[in-house]
């Protein structure tokens, strides 16, 4: 139960920080219609999950729930997606890597479209 509490706290903090950084970045670098705020948050999140995962491979404690699952999960799920893909790449599981990337993007776009259509009715 304590781990769920840490995930809850980290997720809330990550979500708020994502909102603040994304909005500030978008205002600072308004590059035509490129979603710079989301891009910056995703790249920061990927870097953070890499650093944190490397550290927590050696140490197993509650902070991994607070910082990796909670904070990084609230900050951006793209970081988890990227870390999983990197793991597939490291393990030489290229067919699954390619399938995961393509399906995630294509099916994700289709799901957004379908959600928008359902909400219109």
pLDDT at 105: 93
pLDDT at 72: 92
Known binding residues are 73, 76
pLDDT at 79: 86
Q: Cβ(71)–Cβ(10) under 8 Å? A: yes
End-to-end CA distance of the chain: 40
Please provide the average confidence, as pLDDT, over all residues in the chain: 90
Q: What is the pTM of this model?
A: 0.78
**pLDDT tens digits, one per residue of 39-94:** 899 999 999 999 998 888 777 788 999 999 999 999 988 888 998 999 999 999 99
Structure tokens at 36: 């710079």
pLDDT at 69: 92
pLDDT at 15: 96
Angle between helices 2-28 and 36-56 (to 10 degrees): 140
Known binding residues for Na(+) are 73, 76
- What are the residues whose beta carbons fall under 8 Å from the beta carbon of 29, sequence distance 6 or more? 36
DSSP 61: S
Q: Residue 86: name the closest of 39, 35, 47, 36 by CA.
A: 47
CB neighbourhood size of 66 (10 A): 21
User: How far apart (Å, rounded) are the C-alpha atoms in residues 66 and 76?
Assistant: 14
User: How far apart (Å, rounded) are the C-alpha atoms in residues 16 and 22?
Assistant: 10
């Amino acid at each position: 139960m304590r781990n769920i509490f840490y995930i809850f706290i980290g997720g809330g903090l990550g979500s708020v920080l994502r909102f603040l950084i994304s909005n500030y970045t978008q205002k600072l670098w308004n590059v035509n219609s490129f979603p710079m705020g989301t891009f910056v948050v995703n790249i920061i999140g990927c870097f953070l999950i890499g650093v944190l995962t490397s550290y927590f491979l050696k140490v197993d404690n509650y902070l991994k729930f607070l910082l990796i699952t909670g904070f990084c999960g609230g900050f951006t799920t793209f970081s988890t997606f990227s870390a999983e893909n990197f793991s597939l790449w490291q393990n030489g599981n290229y067919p699954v890597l390619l399938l995961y990337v393509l399906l995630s993007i294509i099916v994700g776009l289709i799901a957004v479209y379908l959600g928008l259509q359902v909400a219109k009715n």
